[in-house]
Structure formats: C-alpha cells, structure tokens
Structure 1
Amino acid sequence: MPFVPDDFAVPRELVTPAFRLEPLGPQYNEADHAAWTSSIGHIRATPGFENRTWPPADGMPITENLSDLERHAKDFAERRGFTFTVLDDTVIGCVYIYPAKDDPQVTRVHSWVTASRAQLDKPLYTAVSAWLAADWPFEKIEYAPR
C-alpha cells in the first residue's frame, strides 16, 4: 500500500509568520547539522524523541548527516515519507512524516526545533497538526502533543 495516493499532490511548503517548511535536502546539510548538533539535549527531551536513538548523543560527522539528508530527499521523491526543514533565516528544526513501521495505516509525525527557538515548539506542533488535517490524506496520525 502506498503511503499517499498516486494522484495526491504532496504539499511543498507551509508558511507561517514565524517559520516556513520546505522539503529537506542536501542543500541544507551545513545548516541542518549545525542546528541539531547545537541542540542534542533539547531535541532528545522534545515530546516524541524521548525513546529514540536520534539525535545521537555524541553527534555525527557532517558527511554522515549528508547521507541522512540524501535519504530523506529520496524518500520524499519516492513518496515513502516526507521530511521538511523548518526555516526562519536559517534551519531551526525539522518535521518528519512517515508511515509507522508496525502499522502502515498510522502516520507518525515527529518535529523538533533548536534550543534557541524552543518557544516555537508548540506553534510548530499546532501549525503542522492543522496542516496535516487540512491538506494531507492521512486518517490516523500519531504526533506527540505539546
């Protein structure tokens, strides 16, 4: 079963007064790496990340980060999952939209913002939740509340 219907036009952005979302890709490698490595403890304490292995406590080389971004871009292009970078004047977070591995009927969403933009965590959650309800075809979404 495909994650989204073949005829579904995948949204390419979400714009709010405080931030915008764009598909994550290799062009954001340096800014993405700087964003999450500056906020590992904060991200690991963000709802939905408490029991995850990412981000790694000791970080990772920027070349490995690039591989991750290339994988996310490929997933997006092949419609297997959708990762968006959260931007203001630079990368300040990410949103991941993927089918649950244990139940493909469930869409799992995770998001984080940098520690320096922690006040945007709830507005990001609120905006993404509304966007998913209005513009995406998912029926069952799991997204840790803020």
Structure 2
Amino acid sequence: MFPSAGSGHRLVADPPEPLVTDDFFLAPLQPELLDLDTEAYLASPDVIRDHSYGRWPQEGFGNDDNLPLVIRHWSDHQARRAFTYLLLDPEGTSSLGCLYLQPLFPYLEAMGADARTLLRYAGGATARVSYWLRQDREPGLTESVSERLDEWLRTQWPLDAYLYRVAPAEECTVHALDRLPLDRVDIDLPAERYNYLWWAADVRMVS
C-alpha cells in the first residue's frame, strides 16, 4: 500500500500475466479495488505493524486516505516503474494481502550500500520484493503463497535478480522463505533505519 517506487525508470518493460492459482489470484492494485485493499489492511493491524515497523497509520485510516496511495501505485504500475498487486480470493470478493515489486538499485544507492553491492545489482532489472498477508488468513496460506509467488517471479518475470525484504517480526514469512531455494544474504545499508532480513534468488539473466 505505502512503498514508493523510488525511481523514474522502468523496472521492466513487459510484466507477465498476473499469477492465478486455486487458492488466490493476483490483480494489479488500481482504484477499482480500493474497498478490498482498505478492508484487508484494516483487518490486519498486527501484520501491518510488523511489516511496516509501525510506520503505516491505522487509527482513523480509511478509503479517503488510501485512495491517493492506490492511485500512485496504479500510476507506477502503468509506467512500469514498480508493480503492486492484491492477492484476491478465488471469487475475487476479498483481498488476502498485497505484493510489491520495486526497483532494487535506487533503494540500495539511497541507503548507502557499498560499491561492491551496487556494482552487483547495477545495469539490470533487479527487484526488491515484499508482501503481507491478512491477519485472519487460513493456516498454511503463507507457505502456499510464498511458493507460488517465488515460482512466478523466477520463471515468468524478465528480471536479472530479485531480493525479498522482510522485517524480523514477520515470523511466518521468514519461515516460509527459509523453506524455498533462496539464499539469505547480509546487506550493509548505513542509511537504513530498520533491520531488515534479505533473501536473494539466483541471478537469471534475461534471454
């Protein structure tokens, strides 16, 4: 809901078709989905607190507050700067959470990453990935979502690399990502106020 693209450049020119599974499907976050997005957000106070390190407002938050954010996400999506998706239930009547794909390099640069890290992720389509799932989700949904999202990112997206960024308090997400074929990596970011955990996928060069 709140992350900014952080760059005027496109992350990728042609994103794949949104993921569809038996348990959920992805839909780009746009104004038509405002009600579903706000409802899931307000239904998940503990999840949102952990995911955002307590930075995202909740008390008194409503559609009027959310609409400008949704419009910004949709604008970024259309311009290919960054991509935000709702995870919808199979009937499309409820949001199960939110997925964000944003350019990684501008963030690393702004947070003071060292030259070696910047060189590794410069000059290609590299994404910073994060997501949250609503508080009243079904047991086991976190693992299912994590597996399907990662398969989609790894096989369908024209990315050179992607890294998941997770707050330590997001214990279910941490456990789910530890089960996947990913590498936990340490990234020194002197200007980052928060202590995030990182998982990196194998670099897959665009053919």
Shorter-chain TM-score bucket reads 0.7 to 0.9
TM superposition shift of 1:33: 0.5
Q: Give the letter for the 2:19 counterpart.
A: L
Note if 1:94 corresponds to 2:98: yes
Name the CA distance, whole Å, in 2 between partners of 1:34 and 1:2.
30
Larger Rg: 2
Instruction: Give the Cα separation in 2 of the matches to 1:20 and 1:27.
Output: 16
Give how far 1:60 is off.
2.1
Q: Cα offset for 1:23?
A: 0.6
- Aligned residue for 1:140? 161
1:2 to partner: Cα distance: 3.4
Cα distance in structure 1, aligned partners of 2:134 and 2:35: 15
Structure 1 segments (4+ residues) deviating >4 Å: none
What is the alpha-carbon distance in structure 1 between the residues aligned to residue 11 and residue 26 of structure 2? 20
Tell me by how many angstroms 1:118 deviates: 5.1
- Structure-2 change in CA distance of 1:64 and 1:135 (3 Å): same
* % identity of equivalent residues: 31
Cα distance in 2 for partners of 1:59, 1:11 equals 36
Specify the SS of the correspondent of 2:71.
Answer: helix
Structure 1 partner of 2:134: 114
**Match for residue 63 of structure 2?**
62
* Residue aligned with 2:84, SS: strand
- The letter of the residue matching 2:73 is H
8 Å contact from structure 1 (residues 22, 86) kept in 2:
yes
Q: Which has the higher contact order (CA 8 A, sep 6+)?
A: 1
Q: Which residue of 2 aligns with 1:53?
A: 55
* AA in 2 matched with 1:115: Q
Partners of 1:122 and 1:113 lie apart in 2 by: 11
Which ranges in structure 1 are unaligned for 5 or more consecutive residues? none
Change (3 A) 1:60 1:50: closer
Whole-Å separation in 1 of the counterparts to 2:10 and 2:34:
28
Alpha-carbon separation, structure 2, partners of 1:21 and 1:117? 16
Secondary structure at the residue paired with 1:71? Answer: helix
Is there any run of 5+ residues in structure 2 with no aligned partner, and where?
1-8, 110-117, 167-173, 177-207
SS in 1 for 2:136: helix
Q: Report the TM-score, using the length of structure 2 for normalisation.
A: 0.61
Paired residues for 1:2-81 under 5 Å: 2-4=10-12, 6=13, 9-45=14-50, 49=51, 51=53, 53-54=55-56, 56-58=57-59, 60-81=61-82
| Deviation for aligned residue 1:12 | 3.4
State the alpha-carbon separation in 2 of the partners of residues 2 and 81 from structure 1.
7
Count of residue pairs the alignment pairs up: 139
